[in-house]
Amino acid sequence: MSEKLIIGMFGFGVVGQGLYDIIKTKKLNLEIKKFVIKNADKKRSLPAELFSTDPEAILADPQINTVVELIDDADAAFAFTKRALSSGKNVVSANKKMIATHLEELAEIQHEHGTSLLYEGAVCGSIPIIRNLEEYYDNELLHSVSGIFNGSSNYILSKIFNEGQSYDAALKKAQELGFAETDPTLDVGGYDPKYKLAIVASHAYGIYVDPETILNLGIDKLADQDIRFAKEKGYKIKLLPLAKEIANNQVVLYVLPKFVRPDNILYNVENENNGVLVKAAFADEQFFYGKGAGGHPTGSAVLSDITALRYGYRYEYKKHLEAGQLQYSADYELNVYFRYEDDELLQKIQFESITERFYGQDFKYVTGRINLREIIAKRDLINQAGNFIAEVL
């Protein structure tokens, strides 16, 4: 028999409204008692008495046994989540930065207090990748997990390659549709998929990795020359995070733009959709596809976690129990394309080998092999204006 959930919800933005829309169409054993929001003057679609600006309206209410956290502020989200879990309330969150940054501590709090934190909605919208990594792949040896984790950047790249739009025009349209923020850095700079990658790595490989140590370079330096190069070679560009087990029980994690060939299943993942490719020792390759942005897709993932709590579900972090020998590493060689302006800059970056050099009237590039550690060490040089780097798959 399911437990009745009395819910307090932090935030009532796009995802919160989408979640509420879904809940009101269902007959579920739950009740939303209170919403805590930031702006008391904003007009709401629900009765005013349901809203408060005081976090204590949720955190100090003994009747509320479940907290749903859907706010943008990662620091505040962590404070609310930690307090709720420590006081016996279960939590559902979609805040990928908060979870990625504090996951190890949050796992310990859950264990200490017997509470549950679920966060399917924090990674890849409607795709149930966390639950699958926890349950389906719990005894599987995973070679790699990669894919399109950010619907905003994928929408922009789809408009560029499929409709010939400029980067600026595609970004503006993504912002108009609500896929990208006014400041799009989290999406186009690769920060959003980096946080998601750190969470995925925990459930895929049983390692806690500080997201600040993971390389993320995005599509914000993408230029017409790079698009022309990709089209001439028959590629599309996708912003792809990768978690991969390499030699000596090491796991490599990074986020880079990548030139993707037509025979890669991610080549045809377009617009705001996400796609996750899991390569396993026994299950071989499996692909998960779905909406990665929007109130209703993400709201559906949040609701899946809420309903799982009715039956006492919690993540067991099984991979952590068996992952004693796995270590995070950046010692990994990859093939890259690097467009640059300053010849002196190229002398400061150590490539393992260079396979092609091109000097044109409007741009210069090299392709070759480089160690991930070198990219991390020279990140500021590589990512300055006039340069663009992408992995070649």
Give the residue numbers marked as catalytic: 196
Task: Give SS3 for 291.
Answer: strand
What DSSP state is assigned to residue 349?
S
Residues 314, 124, 331, 267: is their CA dihedral positive or negative? positive
Q: For the chain, what is the radius of gyration of the CA atoms? A: 22
Closest to 234 measured CA to CA, from 161, 150, 334: 161
Structure tokens at 119: 């966060």
DSSP, res 33: E
In the beta sheet, which residues pair with residue 254? 215, 242
From its phi and psi, is residue 184 left (phi > 0), alpha (psi between -120 and 50) or beta? alpha
Residues 32 and 101: their CA atoms lie apart, in Å, by: 28
How far is CA 254 from each of CA 80, 229, 251, rounded to the nearest angstrom? 29, 23, 10
**Count of C-beta atoms within a 10 Å radius of residue 101:** 19
For the record, the structure tokens of 247 come out as 């030699």
In whole angstroms, what is the distance from residue 67 CA to residue 80 CA?
Answer: 9
Cβ atoms of 67 and 84 closer than 8 Å = yes
If 0-12 CB within 10 Å is exposed, 13-18 middle and 19+ buried, where does residue 172 land? Answer: middle
Q: How far apart are alpha carbons 195 and 124 in whole angstroms?
A: 11
The type of residue at 219 is: I
Rounded Cα distance, 51 and 68, in Å: 14
SS3 256: strand
Q: Return the structure tokens found at 66.
A: 């479940």
Q: Which residue has the tokens 């979609």?
A: 94
